[in-house]
Structure 1
Amino acid sequence: MQLLDLIESYNAADASTERLYAREGRRVRGGRTDPKYKQSLLEATRLYQAVLDGRTPVYRLQEAMSTSDFQYLFGDIIDRQMLARYQHTPVVWTSVAKRGRVRDFRSVNRYTLDGGEAVLTEVKQAEEYPAATVTDGKYSYSVKKFGRRLPFTWESFINDDLDALADMPNRLANAATFSEEKFFTDLFAGSNGPDSTFFSSGNANVVTSNPALSVAGLTTAYNVLAAQKDTDGNPIYVSGVVLMVPPALRITANNIINATEILAADGGGDGTGNNQLRVQNWLRNDVTVVVNPWLPIISSSANGNTSWYLFADPNVGRPAMEMGFLVGHETPELFQKAPNAVRVGGGTVDPMDGDFDTDSVDTKVRHVFGGTLMDPKSAVASNGTGS
């Protein structure tokens, strides 16, 4: 995707002028409120793209960097390019976790209510209505700050090596996405597979006998999830599920879900149990396959390639986990270090001239997020070992 397309797609996704430039009330980006700013940004973007494509010599960019306005425009280009890449990169966690918003760095509580939904009791004439018992649950977490600096040298820029400039937004966007995905996976997976505290016999959310992924194993997992009940003994309605697998099970999972028919034993009228029914694959309408490449990294034992998970749709009201982001800082933010040098005789210093001591041009990314496990009744798992 071309840089201009990226910026346009970012603008379309975040079209509000206030959000686009002020990020929900924060300081205006680059201090630019002039109505001609968008046109200037477009012209600067075209110049930058032309230099990257080799259609315009790099000295044109170097000349522009020395002007009073271009350094702000250039910073906005890099910032928007990173955010566009971040928004277009597919992520796994949104399929199974609720997205939350947190006001500050202090611990926040998430409360859940269970009960009060039992089948209504008959109330006879002049009798008092019975009271319901409601159980509340509390989950706490706090968001944390994550980040990294990405320096490149003044010599690289002088040598017409624009790889650093062209690649930096992509790398920073990937770093932010990877950080979210690793943090999310670490919530429910451990070194030996499914987290033993969350997925336990006490929570009744371990697939019986830890079967390998198969039609039979998936059917068992579905039955375990469907057997969950609330505190009133009512069934928990699950309209759709997500099957999360490591890359090693990608083909197996997709073969199961995309098969047109399933051979199912019907118990057999002949007493042998060998009769088979050919049925349409009902799994393809109820199950969504999600491949999580972080599973074998977090679960570093052999179980990392055999473990698989079934999560209820997080939009049904009982999410298995939540990922939270700081209000006003819900996407990664890019910063460039101001030059700490002055020219002899006075005058401003171009930020691309770099640091006084090393001539390095320093950029950093900051991302703030956190999360927690919540309802174990919305997830089941198997380590795939068959034991």
Structure 2
Amino acid sequence: MLDKHTTGAAQPTARHLAQMRLAASKAGLPPDQADLMAAHGVSLAAADATAQGLAQVAQMAAPFLHSGRLDAAAMLRISKHALRAGSGIEDPAQIAQAIAKAAGEEAAAIMAANEPNGRTAAPDLARGTASMVSARAGGSPSLADCMADGLLARMMAGHVPTHGREFAQMRLEDLARFESGASRRGARQFMSGLHVSDDFPIALGIASNQLLLNAYVASEGQLKRASREVTASDFRPINTVQVSNGMGLDKVNEAGEFTRGTIAEAGEAFAVETYGKVFALTRQAFVNDDLGVLSNAARLQGTGAALTEAKLFASLLEKNAGLGPTMQDGKTLFHADHGNLAAIGAAPNVTSLTVARTALRRQKGLSGEAIQVQPAFLIVPPELETAAQQLVAAITAASVDQVNPFSEKLEVLVDANLTNAKRWYLSAAPGVPDGMLHAYLDGAKGPQIFTREGFDVDSMEFKVRLDFGCGFADHRAWFMNPGE
């Protein structure tokens, strides 16, 4: 059932988006699922049932996400398909069931398409949530999954193989030629003369992707913690929404007449862009059984993806000589008219931090209302790290005048990509209100790895791709002091 305030092709209104986020929050869904509901025109009457259906989808998909049979991009596709299935139903009682059923069918189709040459996912996956959960308990990993598990025992310190123990001690050349009797499909040419099973390149991709993501997560920059993640369905600008926090309530007179008010809206925009690199496992490394080349390359690319994100976050803050990006009103993010720029530069101390906190607390919404911004992060370059940590440390005071008002009230975030050694920031937690935002294409968080056989040279090529963008939705959640 579509809402009259929006359609699947139109930008949802601020009110409708807020309604969807409330329903999603009650069902335990993240904000990006609420945004998806709003974009698909879910009505207020259907919001709770739709959110419950999506929550069931997330629960049923969890084991398949963990095993790697589904990824974030597939989950976004599944959610969109499920929302379309529920949109034509008027009875809220039937919406959740329809969404779960459609999600199961789409998940089964995706996994069947991803299985190598003729293998199919368990057929009962299409029967909905219950079937998918039972399939998890009784299903078995594919040959490629088992090979990847064995490869990881050699590539990742501390990994203990489970379903791939028999492959953990095999050389690459022997592993490549292995075919189980149950899935023999004939070998194919690989790296100019080596005959391998169709499962081996898939296993290499699974194992290297695990190393890539582990290195990526371990290297994520701290600035990202001050940003809220949203979803981008394509490379067009993402239109963010700023919403007034509401209006004060007027006293109702004896006649019981209520006055009318409005909710103000505004917005900024940013877009996702693509970053990437290709590396290769050469035929010589393959014959020499040198997995170190592949594992090191995967780790380096994972770290590189995290560093790319960190640099983009820092460069966003440092645009326009450190005043941040230009906002929709034609002024920089940090501007005296925005009330978020220190009039006098100073190092972080009790006095300067008090000024910053007061400025955030005094921020007004679009209708001029007090929005009660709660500072959460003190963001500094490495040169100010010690001073910042001392400023928020827990200290037992001997007298009232020695009490530290910021003791354990703020979390210090340090980023070496911030080039100015004196400039520091104070920000609210992500989303309260929205300040810095970041997005991945179709919800595919972090870098992705793709494999193919080389043609110009004898190698297996690995392409790492990151679709990422960041921007600011509003100036009210951040304050900057240029330092002394």
TM bucket, shorter chain:
0.7 to 0.9
Matching residue within 316, 328, 336 for 1:201: 336
Instruction: Say yes or no: does 1:114 pair with 2:260.
Output: no
Residues 207-226 of structure 1 mapped to structure 2, 5 A cutoff = 207-226=342-361
Q: Counterpart in 1 of 2:235?
A: 105
Instruction: Say yes or no: does 1:139 pair with 2:261.
Output: no
1:77 Cα deviation after fit? 1.2
What's the TM-score once normalised by structure 2's chain length? 0.61
Change (3 A) 1:210 1:157: same
Structure 1 residue runs of 5 or longer lacking an equivalent are 1-13, 265-275, 297-303, 339-354
Considering fraction of residues, name the structure with more strand: 1
1:203 Cα deviation after fit? 0.5
Contact 1:108/1:141, CA 8 A, preserved across alignment: yes
Q: Counterpart in 1 of 2:225?
A: 95
Residue 295 of structure 1 aligns with an amino acid whose one-letter code is: L
Residue 471 of structure 2 aligns with an amino acid whose one-letter code is: T
Residue 289 of structure 1 aligns with an amino acid whose one-letter code is: V
Q: In structure 1, the residue corresponding to 2:216 is in which secondary structure?
A: helix
Change (3 A) 1:369 1:263: farther
Instruction: Say yes or no: does 1:21 pair with 2:137.
Output: no
Matching residue within 431, 446, 458 for 1:315: 431
Contact 1:121/1:130, CA 8 A, preserved across alignment: yes
Q: Counterpart in 2 of 1:242?
A: 377
Contact 1:245/1:292, CA 8 A, preserved across alignment: yes
Q: Counterpart in 2 of 1:369?
A: 468
1:93 Cα deviation after fit? 3.7
Instruction: Say yes or no: does 1:190 pair with 2:319.
Output: yes
Change (3 A) 1:381 1:16: same
Q: Deviations over 1:19-40 (max 9, x none)?
A: 7313225565563656543576
Change (3 A) 1:37 1:133: closer
Q: In structure 1, the residue corresponding to 2:268 is in which secondary structure?
A: strand
Aligned equivalents of 1:208, 1:291: Cα separation in 2 = 23
Change (3 A) 1:51 1:60: farther
1:157 Cα deviation after fit? 3.7
Aligned equivalents of 2:281, 2:309: Cα separation in 1 = 25
Q: Counterpart in 1 of 2:145?
A: 41
Residue 308 of structure 1 aligns with an amino acid whose one-letter code is: W
Instruction: Say yes or no: does 1:290 pair with 2:416.
Output: no
Change (3 A) 1:42 1:277: same
Aligned equivalents of 1:326, 1:167: Cα separation in 2 = 26
Q: Counterpart in 2 of 1:4?
A: none
Q: Counterpart in 2 of 1:84?
A: 214
Residue 215 of structure 1 aligns with an amino acid whose one-letter code is: V
Instruction: Say yes or no: does 1:277 pair with 2:412.
Output: no
Q: Counterpart in 2 of 1:254?
A: 389
1:15 Cα deviation after fit? 4.0
Give the % identical residues.
26
Considering fraction of residues, name the structure with more helix: 2
Residue 169 of structure 1 aligns with an amino acid whose one-letter code is: A
Matching residue within 175, 179, 188 for 1:64: 175
Q: Deviations over 1:34-54 (max 9, x none)?
A: 65435763455335534788x
Q: Counterpart in 1 of 2:127?
A: none
1:125 Cα deviation after fit? 3.6
Q: Counterpart in 2 of 1:381?
A: 480
Aligned equivalents of 2:265, 2:374: Cα separation in 1 = 24
Q: In structure 2, the residue corresponding to 1:49 is in which secondary structure?
A: helix
Residue 288 of structure 1 aligns with an amino acid whose one-letter code is: E
Change (3 A) 1:58 1:227: same
Q: In structure 2, the residue corresponding to 1:21 is in which secondary structure?
A: coil
Aligned equivalents of 1:83, 1:51: Cα separation in 2 = 14
Contact 1:149/1:363, CA 8 A, preserved across alignment: yes
Q: Counterpart in 2 of 1:300?
A: none
Aligned equivalents of 2:245, 2:168: Cα separation in 1 = 69
The number of equivalent residue pairs is 334
Q: Deviations over 1:69-127 (max 9, x none)?
A: 33322221112222233344443244211110121222232222226423x33343448
Residue 245 of structure 1 aligns with an amino acid whose one-letter code is: V
Aligned equivalents of 2:369, 2:230: Cα separation in 1 = 27
Residue 85 of structure 1 aligns with an amino acid whose one-letter code is: A
Residue 213 of structure 2 aligns with an amino acid whose one-letter code is: L
Residue 309 of structure 1 aligns with an amino acid whose one-letter code is: Y
What's the TM-score once normalised by structure 1's chain length? 0.75
Contact 1:194/1:307, CA 8 A, preserved across alignment: no
Q: In structure 2, the residue corresponding to 1:146 is in which secondary structure?
A: strand
- Alignment RMSD: 3.2
Q: Counterpart in 2 of 1:7?
A: none
Contact 1:241/1:288, CA 8 A, preserved across alignment: yes
1:232 Cα deviation after fit? 4.2
Higher RCO structure (Cα 8 Å, ≥6 apart): 1
1:135 Cα deviation after fit? 2.1
Structure 2 residue runs of 5 or longer lacking an equivalent are 1-60, 78-109, 122-138, 158-166, 178-195, 326-331
Q: In structure 2, the residue corresponding to 1:205 is in which secondary structure?
A: coil
Q: Counterpart in 1 of 2:363?
A: 228
Change (3 A) 1:263 1:221: farther
Aligned equivalents of 1:361, 1:145: Cα separation in 2 = 22
Aligned equivalents of 2:263, 2:243: Cα separation in 1 = 7
After the TM superposition, which of the residue ranges 154-163 and 180-189 deviates more from structure 2? 154-163
Q: Counterpart in 2 of 1:155?
A: 284
